Amino acid sequence: MEYRQEDEYIIKGLLAGIFIVLLLILVFVAIQEPESQESNVVITNSYNTNTYSYNEGNDYVDRDYYRTSDRNYDSLRYSDTGKHRRTEGIFNDIDEYMVYVKNREDVGGYFTVRFYFENRYGDPDTEMITKYIGPYENEKFAFKDIYEGGHNYRNWKYKVTSESSTPLYYWG
């Protein structure tokens, strides 16, 4: 059986068409946003008793810390909310741990959020972020954990600390 030049052009055209179709499919898959699987976790720590309760769902709890002391200065008042979001990507998974802190004072100051993690073997890990928050402003403290395979952390909690101080006001 003899191949003619016309047959060769037809085969090359078909192969080029298949290549273009595969390339278009690959481009559509690459630009498509991954489906995100979001779970919300609210962590409550009332008045620094270090008791945590985990609640699944979309309910958020505002926590106010009002401290009294015999000192002339005290930590800035604040409220905070914690949230965890997992996004499943094409090549890896991304866990984002977020803490929203609101400065409840009329002066700005520095706040530190310490993230406490425990992996599936019970090994602890800690991350710390410090930011300046202006008067009555909100700030997001976020830690992203990007990994391949299963879940990296099994448990998490956080602690917010006011690094700045303000004069105490006594009403009397």
Residue 129: DSSP 8-state: E
Please name the fold of domain 36-167.
Answer: Immunoglobulin-like (2.60.40)
pLDDT per residue as tens, the chain (172 positions): 566 778 888 888 888 899 898 888 887 777 765 554 444 444 444 344 333 334 344 444 444 444 444 445 678 889 999 999 888 777 788 889 999 999 998 899 999 999 999 988 888 999 999 999 999 999 999 998 887 665 678 889 999 999 988 766 555 4
Supply the pTM of this predicted model. Answer: 0.56
